[in-house]
Amino acid sequence: MKTFQTAPRDEPSEPWACPSCGSASESRTIRSEGFAFARCARCGLWRQQPLPDPGAVRLRYDHEYLDYELERQLDFRDLELRSLADVGFPVEARRPGGDAGRRALLDVGCATGALAAALRERGWDARGVEVSPVMAARGRADYGLDIFAGTLEEARFPVASFDAVHASHLIEHLHDPASFLAECSRILAPGGELVLTTPNVRSFQFMLRRGAWRSAIRDHLVLFSDRTLAALAADAGFTLVRSVTWGGWPVGARPAWLKKPLDAAAKRLGTGDVMCLRFRKGGAAEAASLAPGSDRR
C-alpha cells in the first residue's frame, strides 16, 4: 500500500534540472500513477519529472492532510522519538557543563506539533514551522506551541538562533532542498545538529517495486539515498554523524513471516524503507556510526 498522498489536481508543471547538481541529464526513469521520477545521470538524485508548480503543491496541504495527521499524530510522534534515539540525538535536553539554560530546537514541517510538544516536555525550547495554515493553527491551539505558518525561508529566523533543527518527512516534498539546507545551516549555532527523516531510495523495497514503491507518490518531489542526501548536506556545511534505516517488509505483506528477518536485515545493511540522518554543522563530526552507502540504483 502506498503512503498517503493528496488527491490528483489539475496543476501546471514543467521540466526541471537536478536540484542538487543542476544537471539536466537523466540516466533512467520510473513511472508511477500518472507521474514519473527521473534519476540524475551526474549525481544519482531522483526527482519527479516534470516538476509540479511549487505554488500549487503548497495548496495541497489543506484539511484533508490535517485529518490524516490528526488521526496518526501520536503514532508518528512515537516513531520519530525512537528514530531520534537510534541516531543518538539527545532527546533529553541538557547543556554541557551543567548550564541551566534551555536549548532551542526548531521542528520544520511540525504538522500538528505533537513531536515538538514532546520535546518541550523533555527540556527543549521547542518551536515549529508548518506550511499548512490549518495544521499550524491546530498545533498552536492543541499544544500552545509557537508555530510559524509558512516555509522555513519565509520565517527569517535570526542567524545561529537554534541548537538543533529537525525535519521529518519534509525534505522530499521540497522543490529546492539545497535552499532549505542552506537556511538550516544559517539558523543553527556552530556545532548545532540537524536531523532529517525521509524515504530511502536505496531501500530493498524500492529495488523490488520501483514505481509501485510506497514512497513513489505525487507529493514527493525528490527521492534521496543516504549518499545523495549526505552530499547535498555537505554542500551546506554539514557533516554526517550517524544514519539508520528501518523497514524491510511492508506491514500486511505476504508472506508475513518474512517481515521480522527482512526488517532486521534492512536495518543492518542500510536498505530500510525510511532513513534518519543526523548531521552536525561545521567541523569534524564524531566518528560516524554509518558512513553513507554507495547508491547502486
pLDDT at residue 46, as a whole number: 98
pLDDT at residue 83, as a whole number: 95
| pLDDT tens sequence across 257-285 | 888 898 899 888 999 999 999 999 986 54
User: SS3 for 168?
Assistant: strand
Give me the number of domains the chain comprises. Answer: 1
pLDDT at residue 252, as a whole number: 77
Rounded distance, CA 50 to CA 286, Å? 39
Is 5 part of a structural domain of the chain? no
pLDDT at residue 223, as a whole number: 98
Instruction: Quickly list DSSP for 161-191.
Output: -EEEEEEES-GGG-S-HHHHHHHHHHHEEEE
Q: Which of 83, 91, 152, 151 is nearest to 116 (CA)?
A: 91
The answer, as to whether pTM is greater than 0.85, is yes
Tens digit of pLDDT at every position of the chain (297 positions): 788 899 888 999 999 999 999 999 999 999 998 899 999 999 999 999 999 999 999 999 988 888 999 999 999 999 999 999 999 999 998 665 555 467 999 999 999 999 999 999 999 999 999 999 999 999 999 999 999 999 999 999 999 999 999 999 999 999 999 999 999 999 999 999 999 999 999 999 999 999 999 999 999 999 999 999 999 999 999 999 999 999 988 777 788 888 889 889 988 899 999 999 999 998 654 334 333 333 333
User: SS3 for 239?
Assistant: strand
Is 290 part of a structural domain of the chain? no
pLDDT at residue 97, as a whole number: 56
pLDDT at residue 295, as a whole number: 38
pLDDT at residue 259, as a whole number: 86
Is 210 part of a structural domain of the chain? yes
| pLDDT tens sequence across 91-144 | 998 665 555 467 999 999 999 999 999 999 999 999 999 999 999 999 999 999
Domain limits at 163? 13-281
Is 8 part of a structural domain of the chain? no
Is 164 part of a structural domain of the chain? yes
Is 97 part of a structural domain of the chain? yes
pLDDT at residue 251, as a whole number: 77
pLDDT at residue 99, as a whole number: 53
Is 291 part of a structural domain of the chain? no
Element (H, E) at 191: strand 188-199
Q: Any idea what the CATH number is for the domain that residue 215 is in?
A: 3.40.50.150
Is 55 part of a structural domain of the chain? yes
Element (H, E) at 148: strand 147-149
